[in-house]
């Protein structure tokens, strides 16, 4: 930890105790990234982890995950998370950060960090999540996960806003999901990741006419991009849709893979993930 400009730390016990935002403030969740590198300009830390938000709650319609819910708490989510649980678990196991951080690193911290190679933001996009932000004026602002991150390390979060919760429609937990990711080594950043979704249609008669299918492409792109597929989409349809996403998006081009390589890997992963959800398949970590 090398936060030489920090002169104050506050630990509010409730949201009402959060001090008015000022220039130089940084919200702290697990601190696993914040304390891992110098933070020039940060003078006060506002630690959100003492606020007694319930990590995961479920009603008939919505699953509410608090921003400070840790990866360990997500993995223990069990019945509260339904089908979203295994998807979160696979994403956590695809992270290049150490398992030693899982008790501290939070879902909200990952989302607000907005890494291009975020594993958790794409999951929220696949689940159709909405983010509940608290504004400095004390209001709530709801933003779709798919609209929150707009570039690598860039979101639409305004100064002073903090993420309070991630809201997932309960119906999303009935869908089939498959996450496919590729990286050069088991511990390196992902080169590309694709999550395929298949939500059965109403009626339950086995017909695929009313189902909803989607892909979320990430790690190859600067931020997660979701695209809807036609009901009954096949592997080749998904690969073509994924290539279209790549052609319209900014692709990463670094030591983990050139843009052209990433485009090819995304198409391959999209086909494999779509084949898996077509068979009611589910999860796998890396290829």
Ligand X SMILES: Cc1cc2nc3c(=O)[nH]c(=O)nc-3n(C[C@H](O)[C@H](O)[C@H](O)COP(=O)(O)OP(=O)(O)OC[C@H]3O[C@@H](n4cnc5c(N)ncnc54)[C@H](O)[C@@H]3O)c2cc1C
Judged by the rule CB under 6 A, the positions of this chain that interact with ligand X are 26-34, 36, 48, 67, 95-97, 104-106, 108-110, 112-113, 115, 117-120, 162-163, 189
Please state the closest distance from residue 48 (CB atom) to ligand X, in A. 5
Q: What are phi and psi of 242, to 5 degrees?
A: -65, -40
Closer to ligand X by CB, 120 or 124: give it. 120
CA atoms lying within 13 Å on the CB side of residue 196: 36
State in angstroms the smallest separation of the CB of 33 from ligand X.
3
Q: Would strands 44-47 and 56-58 be described as parallel, antiparallel, or unpaired? A: unpaired
In 3D space, the residue among 188, 246, 191 whose CA is nearest the CA of residue 215 turns out to be 246
Question: From the CB of 156, what's the least distance to ligand X, in Å?
Answer: 12
Shortest Cβ 75–ligand X spacing (Å): 13
Report, in Å, the least distance between residue 231 CB and ligand X.
Answer: 31
Q: What residue has token string 């996450």?
A: 179
In the complex, the smallest distance separating the C-beta of residue 204 from ligand X, rounded to whole angstroms, is 35
Compute φ and ψ for 71, nearest 5 degrees: -60, -40
The answer to whether the CB of 190 falls within 8 A of the CB of 96 is yes
Neighbours of 58 (CB within 10 A): 17
Q: Which is nearer to ligand X, 39 or 197 (CB)?
A: 39
Is the Cβ of residue 3 or residue 67 nearer to ligand X in the bound state?
A: 67
Query: Helical H runs in 105-175?
Result: 107-113, 120-126, 145-148
> Between 46 and 63, whose beta carbon lies closer to ligand X?
46
Instruction: Compute the distance between CA of residue 162 and CA of residue 131 in angstroms, rounded to an integer.
Output: 10
Q: Which is nearer to ligand X, 22 or 280 (CB)?
A: 22
CB of 200 to ligand X, least distance (A): 29
Give phi and psi for 219, each to the nearest 5: 70, -35
| 27 versus 148: smaller Cβ distance to ligand X | 27
What are residue 214's DSSP bridge partners? 197, 228
Indicate the residue among 106 and 191 with the shorter CB distance to ligand X: 106
For residue 260, the surrounding DSSP H or E stretch is helix 259-278
Please state the closest distance from residue 211 (CB atom) to ligand X, in A. Answer: 29
Cα 162 to Cα 83: distance, rounded to the nearest angstrom: 27
Judged by DSSP in three states, 101 sits in helix
Q: Are 3 and 39 in contact (CB under 8 A)?
A: yes
**Which residue has the CB atom at the shortest distance from ligand X?**
109
Q: Which residue number, 173 or 183, has a Cβ lying nearer to ligand X?
A: 183
């Amino acid at each position: 930890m090398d936060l030489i400009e920090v002169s104050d730390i506050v630990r509010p016990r409730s949201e009402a105790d959060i001090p008015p935002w000022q220039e130089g403030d940084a919200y702290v969740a697990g601190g696993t990234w914040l304390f891992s590198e110098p933070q020039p300009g940060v003078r006060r830390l506002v630690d959100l982890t003492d606020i007694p938000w319930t990590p995961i709650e479920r009603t008939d319609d919505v699953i509410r995950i608090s921003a400070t819910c840790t990866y360990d708490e997500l993995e223990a989510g069990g019945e509260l998370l339904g089908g979203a649980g295994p998807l979160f678990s696979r994403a956590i196991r695809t992270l290049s950060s150490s398992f030693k951080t899982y008790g501290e690193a939070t879902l909200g911290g990952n989302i607000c960090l907005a890494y291009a190679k975020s594993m958790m933001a794409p999951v929220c996009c696949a689940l159709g999540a909405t983010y509940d932000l608290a504004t400095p004026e004390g209001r709530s602002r709801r933003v779709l996960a798919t609209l929150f991150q707009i570039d690598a390390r860039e979101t639409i979060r305004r100064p002073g806003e903090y993420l309070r919760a991630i809201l997932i429609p309960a119906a999303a937990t009935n869908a089939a999901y498959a996450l496919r990711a590729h990286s050069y080594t088991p511990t390196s950043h992902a080169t590309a990741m694709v999550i395929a979704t298949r939500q059965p249609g109403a009626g339950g008669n086995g017909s695929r006419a009313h189902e909803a299918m989607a892909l979320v492409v990430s790690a190859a792109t600067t931020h997660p991009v979701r695209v809807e597929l036609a009901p009954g989409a096949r592997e080749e349809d998904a690969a073509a849709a994924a290539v279209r996403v790549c052609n319209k998006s900014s692709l990463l081009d670094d030591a983990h893979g050139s843009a052209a390589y990433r485009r090819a890997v995304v198409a391959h992963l999209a086909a494999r993930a779509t084949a898996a959800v077509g068979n009611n398949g589910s999860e796998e970590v890396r290829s």
